[in-house]
Amino acid sequence: VRSASDWKRRRQEILELFQANVFGRSPKSKHARFEVFDTDKTALGGRAVRKQVTIYFSAKKDGPKADLLIYLPAGASKPVPMFLTMNFWGNQSVINDPGIRLPTLWDPKTHVRQQASEDSRGRDTEFDVEKILARGYGFATICYQNIEPDFKGGFVGGIRPLFFTRGQSEPAREDWGAIGAWSYGLSRAMDYLVKDKDVDSQRVAIMGHSRLGKTALWAGAMDTRFAMVISSCSGEGGASLYRRNYGETIANLVGAFPYWFSTSLQEFADHTDRLPVDAHELIALIAPRPVYITGGEDDRWADPKGEFLACVAAGPVFRLQGAQDLGTDEMPALNQPIMHTLAFHVHTGKHAVTAFDWDQFLTFADMHLRR
**Which helix (DSSP H) or strand (DSSP E) does residue 345 occupy?**
strand 342-347
Per residue in 126-149, pLDDT (tens digit) is 999 999 999 999 999 999 999 999
CA distances 222 to 26, 69, 98, 176, 283, Å, are 9, 23, 35, 13, 12
- Check residue 109 and give its pLDDT: 87
pLDDT value of residue 30:
84
pLDDT digits (tens, 9 = 90+) for 59-69: 888 899 999 99
Rounded to whole angstroms, what are the CA distances from 276 to 172, 242, 265?
20, 11, 11
Mean pLDDT of the chain: 97
Q: Give percent above pLDDT 70 in the chain.
A: 100
pLDDT over 90 (residue 157): yes
H helix count then E strand count, the chain: 9, 12
Number of domains in the chain: 1
Question: In the prediction, which pLDDT does 61 show?
Answer: 85
**Helix, coil or strand: residue 217:** helix
Cα torsion 242, 243, 249, 255 to 10°: value is 90
- What pLDDT score does 121 carry? 98
Q: Are strands 199-209 and 80-87 parallel, antiparallel or unpaired?
A: parallel
Active site residues: 210, 351
Output DSSP code: residue 352: S
Q: Nearest CA to 210 among 299, 315, 312?
A: 299
Q: pTM above the 0.95 mark?
A: yes
Determine the structural domain holding residue 97 and report its residue range: 4-369
Helix (H, G, I), strand (E, B) or coil at 239: coil
Count of CB atoms situated within 10 Å of the CB of 89 = 17
Look up the CATH number of the domain holding residue 218: 3.40.50.1820
What pLDDT score does 184 carry?
98
Q: Band of the pLDDT at 259, cuts 50, 70, 90?
A: very high
Q: What is the pLDDT of residue 371?
A: 78
What is the reported pLDDT for 227? 99
Phi, psi (5° rounding) for residue 72? -120, 145
pLDDT tens-digit series, residues 184-238? 999 999 999 999 999 999 999 999 999 999 999 999 999 999 999 999 999 999 9
| 177-195 confidence digits (pLDDT tens) | 999 999 999 999 999 999 9
Strand-pair category, 138-143 with 65-73: antiparallel
User: Tell me: the pLDDT tens digits for 285-313?
Assistant: 999 999 999 999 999 999 999 999 999 99
Q: How far is CA 130 from the centre of its chain?
A: 21
pLDDT of residue 261 exceeding 90: yes
| Residue 288, preceding peptide bond in cis (omega within 30° of 0) | yes
Between CA 24 and CA 33 the distance in angstroms is: 25
326 within 8 A of 340, measured Cβ to Cβ: yes
Distance CA 214, CA 243 (A): 16
Cα dihedral 242, 355, 79, 59 sign: positive
